[in-house]
């Protein structure tokens, strides 16, 4: 007999879906005429892309989108959002993206969808990086609930796996979805592989990130440290917009 999800799991998922919809709408409202807008990847960012498309249709907004994945590009085209198609521009006004974990200092783990490389490049040139998350994504320390995705050059994956295991992680090569036991490796938009590294709660993510970046064969890791300027999230029945003053730390929270 097929596995039936229990009522609590269904209710939790429905609540998360509603939170995602509300945070995505709130983020899309920050997009204004003339902006270059980074379009993130994943289910919450996709809702924001849909809401931006709606604003273009409703208000005749003129914007240019910078996509972070092939899936987002396809969605943006369907939504009528004009895209920068070749390389990433050196300046993006505002990027809206999701995350897999957020800690109280607004540090992130990203890459659940395997798009972390382009997401990080776009984030790095964004004046504002607005992260949209449902309430389940908050953690005390990065690594608490989610394995850290590390993008690697395919020929180097066993080498990098060995080095990451020596840092104390349980390291798994991500497999393509839907291939069952015969599945080959998941291949990113840039033609690389992903290693998912379970490290447990990270007390010093900056140091760990620097160590991982030094391993030959690593292209990028999924920790986004000191990059998010805003987090829009759900807390209870409220939608909160937390803004970080980039120099002085986390400052203001507005209930929307
Ligand atoms: C993709 C990402 C996504 O933003 C992250 O996985 C969150 O996705 P979702 O909104 O579906 O939970 O980093 O690489």
> In this model, does residue 66 exceed pLDDT 60?
yes
Closest CA to 66 of 36, 90, 93, 44: 36
User: According to the model, what pLDDT value does residue 2 have?
Assistant: 53
Q: What's the mean pLDDT in 97-116?
A: 97
User: According to the model, what pLDDT value does residue 248 have?
Assistant: 57
165 vs 251, residue with greater confidence:
165
Question: What is the average pLDDT score of the chain?
Answer: 94
Q: Is 43 in the pocket of ligand 1 (CB under 6 A)?
A: yes
pLDDT band at 246; cut points 50, 70, 90:
low
> In this model, does residue 1 exceed pLDDT 80?
no
Residues 6+ apart with CB under 8 A from 9: none
Q: Which atom of ligand 1 is nearest to the CA of 98?
A: 4
Q: What's the mean pLDDT in 91-109?
A: 97
Domains of the chain: total: 2
- Lookup: tokens for 81: 């959002």
Q: Is 114 in the pocket of ligand 1 (CB under 6 A)?
A: yes
pLDDT band at 4; cut points 50, 70, 90:
low
Q: Is 111 in the pocket of ligand 1 (CB under 6 A)?
A: yes
Residue nearest to atom 4 of ligand 1 (CA): 98
- Indicate whether 242 and 207 sit together in one domain: no
Q: Is 222 in the pocket of ligand 1 (CB under 6 A)?
A: no
Taking only the tens place, the pLDDT of each residue in 9-52 is: 998 888 999 999 999 999 999 999 999 999 999 999 999 999 99
> In this model, does residue 247 exceed pLDDT 70?
no
CA distance 124 to 191: 21
Residue nearest to atom 10 of ligand 1 (CA): 44
Q: What's the mean pLDDT in 85-102?
A: 95
Residues in the chain, overall count: 256
- Indicate whether 60 and 28 sit together in one domain: yes
- Indicate whether 210 and 234 sit together in one domain: no
Domain limits at 196? 148-219
Taking only the tens place, the pLDDT of each residue in 186-240 is: 999 999 999 999 999 999 999 999 999 999 999 999 999 999 999 999 988 899 9
What is the value of pTM for the model shown?
Answer: 0.94
CA distance 233 to 109: 16
> Ligand 1: which of 22, 23, 38, 41 to mutate, most ligand atoms within 8 Å of CB?
41
> In this model, does residue 249 exceed pLDDT 90?
no
| Residue 21 domain-assigned (yes or no) | yes
CATH code for the domain of 206: 3.30.70.260
- Indicate whether 173 and 211 sit together in one domain: yes
């Amino acid at each position: 007999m097929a596995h039936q999800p229990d009522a609590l799991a269904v209710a939790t998922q429905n609540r998360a879906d509603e939170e995602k919809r509300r945070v995505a709408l709130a983020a899309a409202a920050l997009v204004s005429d003339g902006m270059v807008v980074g379009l993130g990847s994943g289910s919450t960012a996709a809702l924001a892309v849909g809401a931006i498309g709606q604003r273009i249709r409703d208000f005749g907004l003129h914007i240019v989108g910078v996509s972070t994945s092939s899936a987002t590009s396809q969605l943006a085209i369907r939504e009528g959002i004009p895209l920068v198609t070749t390389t990433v521009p050196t300046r993006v006004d505002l990027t809206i993206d999701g995350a897999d974990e957020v800690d109280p200092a607004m540090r992130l783990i990203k890459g659940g969808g395997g798009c972390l490389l382009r997401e990080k490049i776009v984030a790095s040139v964004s004046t504002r990086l607005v992260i949209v998350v449902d309430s389940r994504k908050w953690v005390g320390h990065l690594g608490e609930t989610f394995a850290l995705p590390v993008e690697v050059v395919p020929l180097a994956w066993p080498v990098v796996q060995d080095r990451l295991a020596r840092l104390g992680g349980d390291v798994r090569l991500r497999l393509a979805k839907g291939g069952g036991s015969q599945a080959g490796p998941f291949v990113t938009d840039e033609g690389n592989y992903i290693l998912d590294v379970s490290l447990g709660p990270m007390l010093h993510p900056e140091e760990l990130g620097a160590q991982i970046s030094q391993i030959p064969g690593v292209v990028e890791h999924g920790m986004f440290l000191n990059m998010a300027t805003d987090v829009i999230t759900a807390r209870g029945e409220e939608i909160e917009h937390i803004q970080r003053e980039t120099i002085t730390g986390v400052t203001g929270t507005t209930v929307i």
